[in-house]
Chains A and B, each alone.
Chain A
Amino acid sequence: QQQVKQSPQSLIVQKGGISIINCAYENTAFDYFPWYQQFPGKGPALLIAIRPDVSEKKEGRFTISFNKSAKQFSLHIMDSQPGDSATYFCAASPISYNTDKLIFGTGTRLQVFP
């Protein structure tokens, strides 16, 4: 119930293409869904996040799509660039329950080739 399942494990995309990473959860108490970007040797950095009262959120080339009934959410990276090559983690948190901890997915290693 506390798991967040993430796929694919790795992804190779051509420059200019669309990268899509999917996550699924079981715990209906989760109400905050962020995506993190991590470069080698660095800590995760918040990329974009969504609450379940909206179905989509867009920031620049990054879009989160959220399907509450299916308990799934995904990250879309439009016009993927070599600089986007990193590991991406989805996460979830039941922040309305006064807990500050995040449950992370297992990560997707994205490689964007020129």
Chain B
Amino acid sequence: NAGVMQNPRHLVRRRGQEARLRCSPMKGHSHVYWYRQLPEEGLKFMVYLQKENIIDESGMPKERFSAEFPKEGPSILRIQQVVRGDSAAYFCASSPPNGAGPGGYTFGSGTRLTVV
């Protein structure tokens, strides 16, 4: 069991480009969560998805950010027209479908996005 896989580990984008971050949940997990960690800060919830459904996107910025978790393939966090303030570590977590919630979270190692 490879755990939660995130790629790329590091991503550099110029201002105005698009960033795509991928997350493959643990085997058997069907719930995916994205968190953002700014330097010297804690993690901030962004979005909670199940297969083909967005359950809670209350932490997503209103513009430029979107997330999906298709029937097949990894979950994708997409940031359009990146700005310097988007530079952060983005973590994905997954949990099993039995309603374990945060107690069942397993985090990936994150994608560190740098906008230059």
Contact = CB atoms under 8 A, between A and B. Distances in A.
Interface in A78-114: 89, 91, 93, 95, 99-107
Contacts of B43: 44, 89, 102, 104
Contact of A32 (B33, B40, B102, B107): B102
Nearest to A89: B42
Contacts of B31: 100
Sorted nearest first, the 8 A-B pairs with minimum C-beta distance are A43-B107, A104-B42, A101-B45, A100-B101, A104-B43, A106-B42, A93-B102, A95-B101
B63 interface: no
Interface string A26-54: 00000010100000011111100100000
A100 B46 CA distance: 12
A43 B108 contact: yes
A94 to B, nearest CB: 10
Interface residues of B, number: 26
Contacts of B35: 102, 104
16 contacts: A32-B101, A32-B102, A34-B102, A44-B43, A45-B107, A49-B103, A93-B101, A95-B103, A100-B48, A100-B102, A101-B48, A101-B56, A104-B42, A104-B44, A106-B42, A107-B41
Given A43-B108, A43-B110, A45-B107, A95 B102 contact: yes
Contacts of B41: 106-107
B95 interface: yes
A60 B42 CA distance: 25
A101 B60 CA distance: 13
A102 B110 contact: no
Contacts of A44: 43, 91, 107
